[in-house]
Amino acid sequence: MPMSVTGTKPIPDERLVLIRGMSADSRGFSFIELLVAVLIIVLLTGVVTLNVGRGGADLRLADEARYVANLLEMASTEAGLSASDHGLLVARTREDTTERYQGIWLQRFDQGWASPRVNADIFAPLDFEAGTELVLTLDGQPDIEIEKYDPELNPTPQIVAWAGGEMTPGVLEWIDQKTGEILYRLEWDLLGRMTLLPRGEAEVEVQ
C-alpha cells in the first residue's frame, strides 16, 4: 500500500484512485479545444441572429398584409357609407438608391381622385416593407405595371371599392426581391372578401 508524503501513514487504495482521477480531470482545456469551443459558440450565435432577424421581418410582413386587407375592407365600408368610391393606388417610390412601394388611398370627388377627407389619419399613405416586390393582378385586366406616383397626373387607383358595395377582384403578392419567392398573397373577390395566403399556400380567412 502506498505511503503518505511524510512516509508515516499509508494511503488507502480508494483515496489513491480519487487523487489520480482528480489529477487527470483537472488538467484543463488545450488551446485547440478552446478555439473549437469558441468557434462553435460564434457559429451558433450567428445562426440564432439570422433566425431572429428573418422572423422579425416575417412578422412585420404578416402585419402589413393583414393591415392592407383590413383597410381595403374599411375602404369598401366607407365607400358605401359616403356613397363615394374609394380606392388604393399601389405605386413605386425611391429612397436614396433603394426602390420601394407605397400605397396611396384615394377618394373620388367631382374634380377627380384625391386623398380621403374622412378618416384621413387612417387612410394615410402606406410604406410597404423594404426588400419586397409587389405584383398586382386584377380580374379581366391586362398585366398591371406599377409606376411611380405623381400627384400632378391625378392618377386613378388600381383597386377600387365602389359605392355600390363591390370591389375590383384581384390579387396582391409580396415577392422576395432576392429569391423571387412568394412571401404573401392577398386575394379578394367582387364582394371585397379577403383571403391571406402566407407563402401562397396555407389559407387564412381575414376576420
| Structure confidence at residue 89 (pLDDT) | 96
Q: What is the mean pLDDT of each run of 10 residues along the chain (207 residues)?
A: 50 48 53 67 54 64 92 93 95 76 94 88 90 92 87 88 94 93 94 91 57
What distance in Å separates the CA atoms of residue 116 and residue 113, rounded to the nearest whole number? 9
| Structure confidence at residue 197 (pLDDT) | 92
| Structure confidence at residue 170 (pLDDT) | 96
pTM for the whole structure:
0.69
| Structure confidence at residue 206 (pLDDT) | 57
Cell digits of residue 99 = 426602390
Cell digits of residue 194 = 379577403
Q: Is 118 strand, coil or helix?
A: coil
What distance in Å separates the CA atoms of residue 52 and residue 44, rounded to the nearest whole number? 12
| Structure confidence at residue 12 (pLDDT) | 53
How many beta carbons lie within 10 A of that of residue 24, not counting itself?
Answer: 8
| Structure confidence at residue 175 (pLDDT) | 94
| Structure confidence at residue 165 (pLDDT) | 92
Contacts of 167 (CB under 8 A, 6+ apart): 72, 76, 159, 160, 161, 188, 189, 190, 191, 192
| Structure confidence at residue 67 (pLDDT) | 94
| Structure confidence at residue 30 (pLDDT) | 72
- The class of domain 33-205 in CATH terms is alpha beta
Q: Where are the alpha helices (DSSP H) in 8-124?
A: 13-25, 31-82
Beta partners for residue 64, in sequence order = none
Q: Give the residue extent of every domain in the chain.
A: 33-205
What distance in Å separates the CA atoms of residue 107 and residue 110, rounded to the nearest whole number? 10
